[in-house]
Amino acid sequence: MNKFIEVTKPLSAKELKLQVLANYVYRKSPYWKSVLDAQNIDISDFGMEDLQKLPVLTKGVLQKNMNEMICAAPSEIIDYVCTSGTTSSPVHIPLTNNDLERLAYNEYQSILRTGATRDDIFQICTTLDKQFMAGMAYFMGLKKLGAGVIRVGIEPLETQWKTILSIRPSYLIAVPSFIVKLIDYAKENGIDYQNCSVKKIICIGENIRDLNFELNALGSKIRKQWNVQLFSTYASTEMATSFTECLEGKGGHLNSDLLIIECLDENNKHTAPGEVGELVVTTLDIEGLPLIRYKTGDLCILHTGLCECGDIGPRISPILGRTGQRLKYKGTTLYPSAIFDVINKFQLVQDSLLTIEKDEVANDIIKIHLAVNFGASVVKLKSAVKSVVRVLPEFYLYETLTPMRKKYKVDRKRKLVKVLDFR
Ligand SMILES: [Zn+2]
């Protein structure tokens, strides 16, 4: 007689991690216990479908319920990182020792995608202190790889070049607009930058590609002047995970054993393929502050399908902007990144900031603040911008934007902040 045995499909590593996450937050966090109880979900069997039943988590809810969401005891916390606070007040995020290990593993995986080996030397040209996560994450990831690291941080251009010429790094990790300044400095000071040791640059904080993965104006500005390979990377402090391009340069790869991602529209429904949506993340393996369906506020397009590098996981497009920065003009939707793509094509622009306000009848008013060379004409720039935004924004010209950046305290990550939203 045949004996029927009930066979259950074994859980994938990701499903297992999700189940562990649900059980962990249920036991450790009063906030998540109440959310899960409200849904009447069987925690012992928590799966991908159950995840979809849970509400999305906004930054506001996170900030309000932070104390009830932290899962680790104070004695288990090693490091406190801080979000940039560019769009709202900063969030302090606690990391346990295992969280730091996870962060190192994440960056190690990301750096490997760029073809790095332990023979490479990396010069980190970003902030390493001020509770900034990325600088520390790079250092730990590179240590795991066994590569050399030069923690120059945000030292002046002269110091950056002195270190490049003496220690001969093969990689830089930097904000792309800073690379432009690095090139300008080399030209002005007779540094043979074309033949220096740097071959690859990991670009953080600003897009270097457009939605077709071609280099945008900023990326082209660097590549036209310097024969280096550029890699875009995107991350946020809350998710403690990065999306980095491989050698193919076709979107930021997900480290799929560390994060579950969704792309949601304004009604929190999954977007259709190719549609712009908000990146929503569920963190795996985090002990301090695990997040479930957290709305990053960053807009992108999700790409699925095999990458030429062989990775089958999803990739994300360049970030189009923040959800709050979606601009509506005469029925069309516009993102600030489209304006910067135009502005960056003009060599005369030294620095730029965009402010968004509402007028008395609730129309969006865009003001473009530009630091330009003395006496330069912006007529061509204005008409180029007009061809993109239809309604011409207001332009304000300055010699430098430093006082404005100081006033609004927006230079923490070295001119990373480009948009000030006062709506
Ligand atoms: Zn790839």
Question: What are the DSSP E strand ranges found in 249-309?
Answer: 252-253, 259-264, 276-283, 294-303
User: Looking at this protein, which amino acid is placed at residue 313?
Assistant: G
Q: Which of 203, 205, 242, 245 is nearest to 223 (CA)?
A: 203
Are 117 and 108 a contacting pair, CB within 8 Å? no
Q: Ligand 1 centroid to 245 CA: how many Å?
A: 7
pLDDT at 1 over 60: no
Q: Ligand 1 centroid to 48 CA: how many Å?
A: 25
Q: Give CA–CA dist 277/269, Å, rounded.
A: 9
Q: Ligand 1 centroid to 251 CA: how many Å?
A: 8
Which pair of structure tokens corresponds to residue 318?
A: 């360049």
The pLDDT of residue 329 is: 61
Q: Which of 230, 419, 423 is nearest to 343 (CA)?
A: 419
Q: Which of 139, 161, 165 is nearest to 150 (CA)?
A: 139
Q: Ligand 1 centroid to 421 CA: how many Å?
A: 34
Q: Ligand 1 centroid to 283 CA: how many Å?
A: 22
Domain spanning 97-322 has what CATH number? 3.40.50.12780
324 pLDDT band, cuts 50/70/90, is: confident
State the Cα angle at 358 between 353 and 363, rounded to 5°: 115
180-194, 243-257, 297-311, 348-362 — which is least confidently predicted?
Answer: 348-362
pLDDT at 109 over 60: yes
358 pLDDT band, cuts 50/70/90, is: confident
- The yes-or-no answer to whether 97-322 and 326-421 have a common fold is no
Q: Ligand 1 centroid to 112 CA: how many Å?
A: 11
Q: Give CA–CA dist 232/179, Å, rounded.
A: 13
Q: Ligand 1 centroid to 116 CA: how many Å?
A: 14
pLDDT at 21 over 80: yes
Q: Ligand 1 centroid to 365 CA: how many Å?
A: 39
Other beta carbons within 10 angstroms of residue 118's beta carbon come to 10
The pLDDT of residue 312 is: 94
Which pair of structure tokens corresponds to residue 157?
A: 């251009």
pLDDT at 35 over 80: yes
Q: Ligand 1 centroid to 309 CA: how many Å?
A: 4
The pLDDT of residue 223 is: 97
Question: DSSP letters of 204-241?
Answer: ESS--B-TTSSB-HHHHHHHHH---EEEEEEEETTTTE
DSSP 8-class letter at 57: B
State the Cα angle at 197 between 241 and 307, rounded to 5°: 40
Give the three-state DSSP class for 25: helix
User: Looking at this protein, which amino acid is placed at residue 283?
Assistant: T
Q: Ligand 1 centroid to 241 CA: how many Å?
A: 17
Its CATH class, for the domain covering 326-421, is alpha beta
Q: Ligand 1 centroid to 308 CA: how many Å?
A: 6
More confident residue, 405 or 28: 28
Q: Ligand 1 centroid to 302 CA: how many Å?
A: 14
Mean pLDDT of 198-227: 94
- Torsion on CA atoms 264, 267, 269, 273, rounded to nearest 10: -60
User: Residue 188, exposed/middle/buried by CB under 10 A (0-12, 13-18, 19+)?
Assistant: exposed
10-24, 80-94, 323-337 — which is least confidently predicted?
Answer: 323-337
Q: Ligand 1 centroid to 362 CA: how many Å?
A: 43
Q: Ligand 1 centroid to 314 CA: how many Å?
A: 10
Q: Is the dihedral of CA 263, 269, 273, 276 positive or negative?
A: negative
Q: Please give the helix or strand (H or E) that residue 370 lies within, else none.
A: strand 364-372
Q: Ligand 1 centroid to 202 CA: how many Å?
A: 15
Q: Which of 235, 213, 231, 212 is nearest to 222 (CA)?
A: 231
Q: Ligand 1 centroid to 211 CA: how many Å?
A: 16
- Torsion on CA atoms 173, 176, 177, 180, rounded to nearest 10: 90
Entry pTM = 0.84
Which pair of structure tokens corresponds to residue 275?
A: 């549609």
Q: Ligand 1 centroid to 212 CA: how many Å?
A: 15
Q: Ligand 1 centroid to 254 CA: how many Å?
A: 10
DSSP 8-class letter at 272: P
Query: Which residues are in the CB-under-5-Å shell of ion ligand 1?
Result: 246, 248, 307, 309, 311
Q: Which residue ranges make up each domain of the chain?
A: 97-322, 326-421
Q: Ligand 1 centroid to 111 CA: how many Å?
A: 12
Q: Ligand 1 centroid to 233 CA: how many Å?
A: 13
Q: Ligand 1 centroid to 243 CA: how many Å?
A: 11
Q: Ligand 1 centroid to 213 CA: how many Å?
A: 12
